[in-house]
Structure 1
């Protein structure tokens, strides 16, 4: 399939006729917006049918209602990505309902309860953190790629795994003290590279979007509940590690970066770990 990038008047980042599964399309309770919801909205605004997946049925239903209210197309699936069967059901449902999968975004993370002073937690919480942050990513990448292998064309699909600079930088302001979160995102980075090699021949792209200090609902809650700081102090800690004078990024920066990776414009990019961090990981 030839893509006429040179054509004058071409619509950029056009996801029309594409089905995009966003795993983590709901969000935690609280003011603001999560990365998954912003990505879902933006993908729909650019023409995609969005399969919105989340553990929280009320929250993901709200995401779908927001998309439909704007004239977009979406439906919800409730699933717990800590379980392989739930991950498989996501893509079985998408294929049965929409007939294809063109894009998948894994925008899921959890910070299990832990003792900050001793950096300790129960085995159950540790394992659940890894199951959500890493094992669920593996299963969703696997099942998404199996769907995409059925597509025609030289670019058959795009997988975007949302990671964190917590996987590469050890600094308290970046929530790195939470072991299964940091380890899970490290594993996610490797899943991206392995899957990119495995599925390149099928025309499937797999990339990591590694986020820095973004003002998502989850990031706000984790900073306050896990580290015992208020909203203003959390914002200050995050801003201190950002090199750009803009301070923290928004979920819309995340969403537009994910949009690029989902769209045909990124058809020559795979296996990459793209840092969207305001320069936080630059050597100081």
Structure 2
């Protein structure tokens, strides 16, 4: 049935009846909310049943508890996205428990440990970074799209892959520490386009949300560890090097951008790289 956008009584950005898998829906401990958790909560607030996926079951459970305390529906799935079998199992569980998958958000990334003084990283750590940042995205896109392909309707699913301006802009310093992250995000951008083309005939959309510096716990922690910054220096350094004119976004703003891409309102958008970066990539 066509979507009735002309209906004045239509609820905008309504995800009621949809099942959304948020891969990376937990987060590291800290005072601020992360992109995955914010996206999961926003999706639930707009009616979705949310499958919260994380390698840390306790953190995923905290997200679930927040959603259910607000009257939403959610459950947790533990998974290590560096393993294809775990990526497949995420969607097997979602289909078995919820009957379908309508949306998937890939909000997972790591910066492996490295020696900042010598600018070196163990080969095994580099490979794990690629496995999580790149291959995990590929396998979740593949198995997520295959699950969505079973749905009926004009638009059968939406995939949102969280990328970064680090994939196209390196003013903040391209040392070995950030390379598995930046290379992974470059690959994620391409995976999104390939997914959009491969599954277009099934009514499945795939888009990239490319983030600038987000004021989240993980973003602040990794900025400090990657570039040897004091916690009080992070905002100033980002403003100087990225030359942001609009400050830094919160993860809630990421969540609402994700909501648009999951909702039927974006049904004519696929294969796109959307920059949520405060204009950082247009300032040279």
Classify the TM-score, shorter chain: over 0.9
Task: State the secondary structure of the residue aligned to 1:232.
Answer: helix
List aligned pairs for 1:22-101, cutoff 5 A. 22-101=22-101
Distance 1:32 1:176, change over 3 A: farther
List aligned pairs for 1:231-242, cutoff 5 A. 231-241=231-241
Q: Is the CA contact (8 Å cut-off) linking 1:209 and 1:258 kept in structure 2?
A: yes
Q: Is the CA contact (8 Å cut-off) linking 2:177 and 2:226 kept in structure 1?
A: no
Q: Give the unaligned 5+ runs of structure 1.
A: none
| Cα deviation code 1:96-123 (max 9, x no counterpart) | 0001000000000000012234432111
| Cα deviation code 1:231-267 (max 9, x no counterpart) | 2201111233555543011101111100000000000
How far does residue 207 in structure 1 lie from its aligned partner after superposition? Answer: 0.3
Q: Give the whole-Å Cα distance in 2 for the aligned partners of 1:118 and 1:169.
A: 23
- TM-score for the superposition, normalised by structure 2: 0.96
Task: State the secondary structure of the residue aligned to 1:172.
Answer: coil
Structure 1 range deviating more: 2-11 or 94-103: 2-11
Show the counterpart of 1:129.
129
Q: Give the whole-Å Cα distance in 2 for the aligned partners of 1:162 and 1:134.
A: 11
1:21 paired to 2:21: yes
Distance 1:175 1:57, change over 3 A: farther
Q: Is the CA contact (8 Å cut-off) linking 1:138 and 1:188 kept in structure 2?
A: yes
List aligned pairs for 1:130-169, cutoff 5 A. 130-169=130-169
Q: Give the whole-Å Cα distance in 1 for the aligned partners of 2:89 and 2:48.
A: 21
How far does residue 157 in structure 1 lie from its aligned partner after superposition? Answer: 0.2
Show the counterpart of 2:214.
214
List aligned pairs for 1:224-235, cutoff 5 A. 224-235=224-235
Q: Give the whole-Å Cα distance in 1 for the aligned partners of 2:206 and 2:268.
A: 11
List aligned pairs for 1:192-203, cutoff 5 A. 192-203=192-203
Distance 1:12 1:241, change over 3 A: farther
Structure 1 range deviating more: 134-143 or 244-253: 244-253
Distance 1:174 1:28, change over 3 A: farther
Q: Give the unaligned 5+ runs of structure 2.
A: none
Corresponding residue pairs, total: 284
How far does residue 210 in structure 1 lie from its aligned partner after superposition? Answer: 0.3
Q: Is the CA contact (8 Å cut-off) linking 1:174 and 1:212 kept in structure 2?
A: no
How far does residue 174 in structure 1 lie from its aligned partner after superposition? Answer: 8.6
